[in-house]
């Protein structure tokens, strides 16, 4: 049985090649400090409407250790979380936040080394009043995310592996990485040159 942590050694670039654009979050979802470690874990999903962060604050006390908390946010005007929320999440073993929104207290978050992939920072916090279900489907960075999907995030971006495909994708990723490791740069260059020249010739390009 494949576990989400087994994706820890798989670059997001490899997963993106296998899964395609639809499973890759938009470039606005970026690590907020660097160098960003690669994180991998099952999604624990949260939906926060505009100006409200109640459910993320609820989630840090409920998400299992190892989870990547994935947040759909209704705006970029109010912070979803700050230093204390990230500290509690880290203490409880949550792997990271991936948020289609903003946080605050970035210096504290960077100092503690808690991975946050989000759209940026803003100093004003949101309200805490809108109750929503946890672990329902959310949309983050343009990708639909269900609870239990595998989320892999690193300095290249964030990729979501559907839970039903995790064994298939992990096996394919490992095979691809093994092939790449066994291929010299000279061999890659020769194959690459041949492939590009063939495409150019078919397109009528002349040197």
Residues of the binding site for Mg(2+): 105
* E runs forming strands in the chain: 30-31, 39-48, 68-73, 96-100, 102-103, 116-118, 120-121, 138-140, 143-145, 150-154, 157-161
Give the residue ranges of the annotated binding site. 82-85, 104-105
DSSP 11-37: -HHHHHHHH-GGGB--TTSEESSSSPP
Give the whole-angstrom CA distance, residue 159 versus residue 194.
Answer: 31
How open is the CA angle 142-60-78, to the nearest 5 degrees? 55
Give the whole-angstrom CA distance, residue 3 versus residue 7.
Answer: 8
Give the whole-angstrom CA distance, residue 109 versus residue 74.
Answer: 22
Cα dihedral 121, 39, 7, 10 sign: positive
Give the residue ranges of the annotated binding site for substrate. 82-85, 104
Residue whose token pair is 């343009």: 142
């Amino acid at each position: 049985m494949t576990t989400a942590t087994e994706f820890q050694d798989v670059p997001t670039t490899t997963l993106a090649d296998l899964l395609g654009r639809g499973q890759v979050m938009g470039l606005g979802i970026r690590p907020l400090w660097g160098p960003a470690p690669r994180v991998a874990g099952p999604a624990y999903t949260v939906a926060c409407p505009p100006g409200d962060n109640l459910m993320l604050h609820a989630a840090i006390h409920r998400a299992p250790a190892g989870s990547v908390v994935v947040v759909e946010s209704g705006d970029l005007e109010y912070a979803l979380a700050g230093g204390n929320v990230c500290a509690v999440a880290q203490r409880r073993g949550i792997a990271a936040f991936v948020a289609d929104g903003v946080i605050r207290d970035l210096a504290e978050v960077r100092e503690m080394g808690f991975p946050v992939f989000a759209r940026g920072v803003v100093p004003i916090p949101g309200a805490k009043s809108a109750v929503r279900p946890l672990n329902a489907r959310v949309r983050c960075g343009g990708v639909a995310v269900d609870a239990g999907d595998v989320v892999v995030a690193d300095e290249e971006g964030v990729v979501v592996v559907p839970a039903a495909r995790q064994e298939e994708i992990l096996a394919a990723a490992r095979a691809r990485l093994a092939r790449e490791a066994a291929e010299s740069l000279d061999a890659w260059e020769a194959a690459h040159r041949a492939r590009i020249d063939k495409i150019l010739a078919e397109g009528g390009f002349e040197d």
